[in-house]
Structure 1
Amino acid sequence: MSGIVGLISKKDCKETLFYATDYHSHLGTEYGGIAIFDGKKITKKIHSIAKAQFKSRFYEDIDFMQMHGNAGLGVISDRDTQPLIMRLKFGEYAICGTGYIDNQIDIARKMIREGLVLSEAYDDRVNQIELVAHLINKGKDLIDGIEYMFNNIQGSMSLLLLGKEGIYAVRDKYGRTPLVLATKNSEKIVVSETCSFKNLGFKTEKFLGPGEILLLTENRIRQIRKPTNDLRLCTFLFVYTGFPASEYEGKNVEEFREESGRLIARKDDVDVDMVAGIADSGTAYAHGYSYESGVPVRIPLLKYTPGWARSYVPPSQEIRNLVALMKQVTAESLIKNKRIAITEDSIVRGTQLKNYLLVKLWNAGAKEIHVRPACPALMFPCKFLFSTRTLDELFARRILKKLLGRHPDDIKPYLDPDSRQYKKMLAAMEKDLNITSLRYQRLEDMILATGLNKENLCTYCWIGQEKAGQ
């Protein structure tokens, strides 16, 4: 998932835009970009942030330091170079977005057959922001074009468009990714993460609804398209992706994680000497587990934060493995001869947990290791955000393929924690990971911890259905 920011003010917006964008750095490690409108033209700068942080890339950029204007966009991108400046038939716009278009290749091939030239198109991917711009350009006007885009993509897309008339904020048709409006005096900001504006003095005005479109100008906020009631917010935002200080639909991420840890402990029956969270996202689960069970929290695995990013975010397995190896350092005296409950946000691919973290704990002398992920086993590649793309990437699916010799024709028995097949799968996972026990959070408890209705949450990656109970 990428993080996007739109800011409009009656004064130079560059500094505030820069810091608000930087506060989305936990969402992507590929590109950082900023576009600013000075009243006459839009100027942009894009840098790779794969090997250097957003702040350092832009601090060192003389051209960026000379950019000024009262309206701008910022983005931390997990995949595409953005924002792009596109000259549509309705005018010139800087565009950035977050989401994933599952049918992007089919759309791109159709456009190319029709004679359209795409500047960033390959056999297996295109620049989704460029694709979105061309889809919007097919409309009678900008808003009709956005409707056309919504109706032709499979997946999700929230957008910000900066033009001479102001900033259009467009939340995904089903609200899978958040957009939040906040204000400070006459300044207006729209962001993915509420943590991005708290230290900048802004106050939340509203969470945009599914499909809602706002136009922000210097003097007003105008609703262009009313929201629908069909919200399908990505639950993984609470589980892992979101920053702890952020809120989604008014619900705080850290609070969710603590409550989730409580629910895990409430249904656990192991005797352990300590509970430890895999930093950073696993830490709050450990605190919740401790509050409920009375088991003390210890920190036997310490994250060396100054030089290493989040290990799930980098696009290649090689880089993810390197980050997992290097960033967690053991405190052996806390581990030796101890029975440890490990709280983890999730087990996605399982390679980092198996090959690095658990090995470190065993080598440091752990007596028992009990792993407690805060969500169910991930069974389906995500169709709505840039994440896992194949069944074989997923730890649970690889275990089932190893057990059965193929992917099962009927996955339903392996989604039921009380079934014989599920318990057999769980035993195989424990053996593969070389741990004392493994217990996943149940779907209903994960949903309960969000404080939202199950009808408003996307649970596709766990059960293959967008809404629980469909």
Structure 2
Amino acid sequence: MYLRDGKNPFDSMNEECGVFGVYSAETRDVAHTVYYGLYALQHRGQESGGIAVAYANKIQYYKGMGLIPEIFANGNLDTLPEGDIAIGHVRYSTTGASLLLNAQPIVFTGKCGKMALAHNGNLTNTKQLREELINDNAVFQTTIDSEVMALLINKNSYGDIVKGVLAACNRFKGSFALVVMTADKLIAVRDPYGIRPLVMGKNLDDVVIASETCALDAVGANYVRDVRPGEVLVIDSSGEHSYFLEGAGRKCASCIFEYVYFARPDSVLDGCSVYESRKEAGRLLAKYNPVDADIVSGVPDSAVVAARGYSEATGIPYVETLAKNRYVGRTFIQPDQSMRENSVSVKMNALRANVQGKRLILIDDSIVRGTTSKKIVKMLRDAGAKEVHMMICSPVIKHPCYLGIDMQSYSQLIGANKSVEEIAAYIGADSLRYLTVEQLKETVKSANVQFCTGCFDKNYPYPMDDYEADKHKFE
């Protein structure tokens, strides 16, 4: 169930999902607004997607496998009616298989009529909640935690969706940023630790909710603010109303990897520019890890900005050394291990004329297993690179993440089992340097939140011992 491995198969970690919602002051083609919002969030999930539209006390939806333009090709988008509320979702499976059955939004009829839900994150108490609901005669159609969330919200609604959302979300453990839609309301929720991002914008009288600000830009909406950790933001005909979950504001622990890798560089999350944080990572690598070299380069795409920062700080020329096939999606979407491994050479190739005879500093965002880093280093050496020095824009990943990143066990992590010197030898690099946790925090010091660093130092927002034991039990 936890097989996919990130931008570079076996090396980077995987994002979970992207969510988008719009509440319009008048009935119009809100499906197209969500379409363009999801298009901007495509980097957050490429396995499946869907859009649901509320109209005339009904909800109509369309879901499919693949990329957003593929799902809504051949007139599928035009099958959705005009309405005044719509939500959408792009998915990468952190729980549940990659099947159309598990595509979101989840749409069903409940105590408050038609409802739809789209979720980004990962609950750590799904098993317990699912068993409780089954004992209460609930019937599940999918294998994802989002359906558990939807049914628990319905169970607690009693005709009032807001009370249902509050009661259910106070039971959830883990990370969740979600949008919930009824016939007359759009509700946005961010977990009390603010682990996953969620922002609000406006386009005239329309209110827009999205996982990142780049999606607001895509639909012409102006950024207003981030949804606060633990906030339940209700948008309806009477305006916007905020409620707060238990523990809201007690301790913020946003995922710092949103800045390292997951988010688009043109997004701003919790007051911090993703682009600037990545450039600062390159500058700090240069400050603390000087290396005598001829050129510096970045593994496309997330490490390119950091490589430019390193170049500016040192004066070492930035040179592209890896050509990327722009028509190949993120490799972690491949359905099995062998296909993901083969797709590395399809996706990237060394630029021989730029690397031959050169001492190269190569910057990447992270190393999880090391397999792809090893392939890339060999690719560069085969192209004639004299030296390859790897620089990583994050600390050594030593511990699993259970909060929405798809690395669930120590066996997946090369940093948990080898020293830095041993990792360097494994990937074939002349040297290997990482940022420390404190240095990484320096890159996001303009953010108005604190961060989760559990995958580096086991400093999770709350104890994970029970969930960790549960995961080992079923591996």
1:48-59 to 2 correspondences below 5 Å = 48-49=65-66, 53-59=67-73
| Cα deviation digits, residues 30-79 of structure 1 (max 9, x gap) | 11100001223100111001xxx211220224464443222100110112
Match of 1:105 among 116, 127, 131: 127
Quick check: 1:290 aligned with 2:295? no
Q: Contact 1:209–1:231 at 8 Å: present in 2 too? A: no
CA distance in 1, matches of 2:435, 2:263: 19
TM-score, normalised with respect to structure 1 = 0.87
Cα RMSD of the aligned pairs, angstroms, is 2.0
Name which of structure 1's ranges 308-317 and 334-343 shifts more when overlaid on structure 2.
308-317
CA distance in 1, matches of 2:336, 2:129: 26
Match of 2:277 among 246, 256, 260: 256
**Secondary structure at 1:333 match in 2:** helix
Q: Report the equivalent of 1:351.
A: 371
Q: Report the equivalent of 1:404.
A: none
Name which of structure 1's ranges 268-277 and 147-156 shifts more when overlaid on structure 2.
147-156
Q: Report the equivalent of 2:6.
A: none
Q: Contact 1:8–1:218 at 8 Å: present in 2 too? A: no
How many Å apart are 1:220 and its aligned residue? 2.1
| Cα deviation digits, residues 229-249 of structure 1 (max 9, x gap) | 532110000000000001111
CA distance in 2, matches of 1:162, 1:327: 38
Q: Report the equivalent of 1:417.
A: none
CA distance in 2, matches of 1:88, 1:98: 22
1:280-319 to 2 correspondences below 5 Å = 280-305=301-326, 307-312=327-332, 314=334, 316-319=336-339
- In the alignment, structure 1 segments of 5+ residues that lack a partner are 121-125, 400-424
Match of 1:328 among 336, 339, 348: 348
Q: Give the counterpart letter for 1:58 in structure 2.
A: F
Q: Report the equivalent of 2:164.
A: 145
How many Å apart are 1:29 and its aligned residue? 1.7
Quick check: 1:95 aligned with 2:114? no
How many Å apart are 1:314 and its aligned residue? 5.0
Q: Report the equivalent of 1:233.
A: 254
Q: Give the counterpart letter for 1:466 in structure 2.
A: Y
- In the alignment, structure 2 segments of 5+ residues that lack a partner are 1-15, 94-101, 463-475
Quick check: 1:268 aligned with 2:282? no
Q: Give the counterpart letter for 2:457 in structure 1.
A: I
Change (3 A) 1:290 1:312: farther
TM-score, normalised with respect to structure 2 = 0.87
1:25-36 to 2 correspondences below 5 Å = 25-36=42-53
Q: Contact 1:45–1:64 at 8 Å: present in 2 too? A: no
Quick check: 1:198 aligned with 2:217? yes
Match of 2:436 among 430, 436, 442: 442
How many Å apart are 1:26 and its aligned residue? 0.1
Q: Report the equivalent of 2:39.
A: 22
Q: Report the equivalent of 1:420.
A: none
CA distance in 2, matches of 1:136, 1:113: 16
CA distance in 2, matches of 1:315, 1:142: 37
Q: Contact 1:310–1:323 at 8 Å: present in 2 too? A: no
Quick check: 1:6 aligned with 2:21? yes
1:161-240 to 2 correspondences below 5 Å = 161-218=180-237, 220-225=239-244, 228-240=249-261
How many Å apart are 1:192 and its aligned residue? 0.3
Change (3 A) 1:184 1:450: same
How many Å apart are 1:146 and its aligned residue? 2.6
CA distance in 1, matches of 2:414, 2:448: 25
Q: Report the equivalent of 2:385.
A: 366
Change (3 A) 1:467 1:290: farther
Change (3 A) 1:199 1:54: closer
The count of aligned residue pairs is 433
Q: Contact 1:212–1:228 at 8 Å: present in 2 too? A: no
How many Å apart are 1:392 and its aligned residue? 0.9
How many Å apart are 1:332 and its aligned residue? 0.5
CA distance in 2, matches of 1:103, 1:95: 18
Query: Which structure carries more relative contact order (alpha carbon 8 Å, separation 6+)?
Result: 2
CA distance in 1, matches of 2:449, 2:267: 22
Percent identity over the alignment is: 28
**Secondary structure at 2:72 match in 1:** helix
**Secondary structure at 1:255 match in 2:** helix
Q: Report the equivalent of 2:399.
A: 380
Q: Report the equivalent of 2:137.
A: 115
